[in-house]
Amino acid sequence: MRYILLLFVFFMIKSLYGQEKEKIAWQLQTVRIGANIAPYLSPLIGNSARTGVEINADAVFNSRYFIDVALGTQSNQINVSAYDYESRGSYIKVGFNNNLLFDKKNPKNNQDQDGIFFGIGLGASSFSQNLNYRIQNNYWGTGQYTFTDSNLLATWIDLGLNARVSLMKYFCVGIVTNLRVRTTLSKLQNPVDAGDIPGFGLNDNGYNFHAGYVLLFQIPVKQKQKQK
């Protein structure tokens, strides 16, 4: 997983600086704000235990780059015969993305903000979790144990391949795919590992693959006309 991360960072740096050295005049074109609709689709695909809200915003520069921010809250409940588990918390993600379809030879072809982007970002989550574990034994009888951890903090790196497509003049839809690699996790007070991290997902192997859909409202930015 470490080598995948290094390879991804290498291609990001190469795409920004490797083809040719040029001065970039950063020009803000569009600001977009909306929400991730994937949490609302979860009950339809049988995953009603995880619920949440995520607000997304991004700023597009030069039809080539966009900086995105996501703020969200999430909870997850698992209820089985042996235990009841719940995690809940909030998270933030910030990323930088580069348009793979940007045409440097013909800049006039880059007048819209649609494209396929790959990027890298950082995420952080503050959360708590609670586990009620039940033991049933014919000899020893039954018992119940409760483990609660609060004020936990986790961080991760996002490696993403995203698409943005305009639906109408002021709306666009985005498809988001990410590889999330956890970097830090608070020390837990109890001998129970973090099961589910809001914004990151299941904490089985320290990494997760994620896909989502965002619906965004586009706010064009008035461009200053260059003086002749």
Question: Higher pLDDT residue, 7 or 103?
Answer: 103
Mapped onto helix, strand or coil, the DSSP state of residue 44 is helix
Q: Is the pLDDT of residue 19 over 70?
A: no
148 found inside a domain: no
Cα separation, 142 vs 11, in Å, equals: 56
Per-residue pLDDT tens over the stretch 42-53: 656 555 577 889
Q: In this predicted model, what pLDDT tens digit does every residue of 62-106 receive, in sequence order?
A: 878 889 999 999 999 888 888 899 999 999 999 999 988 887 777
Indicate if the pLDDT at residue 16 is higher than 90.
no
Domain limits for position 204:
2-15+27-77+89-124+153-220
Distance in angstroms (rounded) separating the CA atoms of residues 108 and 110: 5
pLDDT tens readout for residues 114-132: 888 999 999 999 999 999 9
Tally of domains within the chain:
1
Cα(139)–Cα(143) distance, integer angstroms: 12
Note whether residue 228 is domain-resident. no
Query: How much of the chain exceeds pLDDT 90, in percent?
Result: 39
Query: Residue 28: pLDDT band by 50, 70, 90 thresholds?
Result: confident
In a domain, 190, yes or no: yes
Please choose, from the candidates 206, 177, 204, 198, the residue with its C-alpha nearest in 3D space to the C-alpha of residue 50: 198
Residues 153-162: tens digit of each pLDDT: 999 999 999 8
In this predicted structure, what is the pLDDT of residue 149? 93
Task: State the pLDDT at residue 228.
Answer: 47
Establish if 199 belongs to a structural domain: yes
Assigned domain for 198 exists = yes
pLDDT of residue 127: 96
What pLDDT digit, counting tens, does each position of 161-181 carry?
989 888 888 899 989 899 999
User: Is 203 within the bounds of a domain?
Assistant: yes
* Per-residue confidence (pLDDT) for residue 62, from 0 to 100: 80
Predicted local confidence at residue 111, as pLDDT: 62
The SS3 assignment for 108 reads: helix
**184 close to 166: Cβ distance less than 8 angstroms:** no
**Residue 227 belongs to some domain of the structure:** no
Q: Taking a C-beta distance cutoff of 8 angstroms, is the pair 224, 184 a contact? A: no
Where does residue 66 rank: exposed (0-12), middle (13-18), buried (19+ CB within 10 A)?
buried
Q: Which CATH number characterizes residue 57's domain?
A: 2.40.160
Based on the number of CB atoms within 10 Å of its own CB, is 95 exposed (0-12), middle (13-18) or buried (19 or more)? buried
Q: Is residue 146 part of a domain?
A: no
- Higher pLDDT: 141 or 153? It is 153
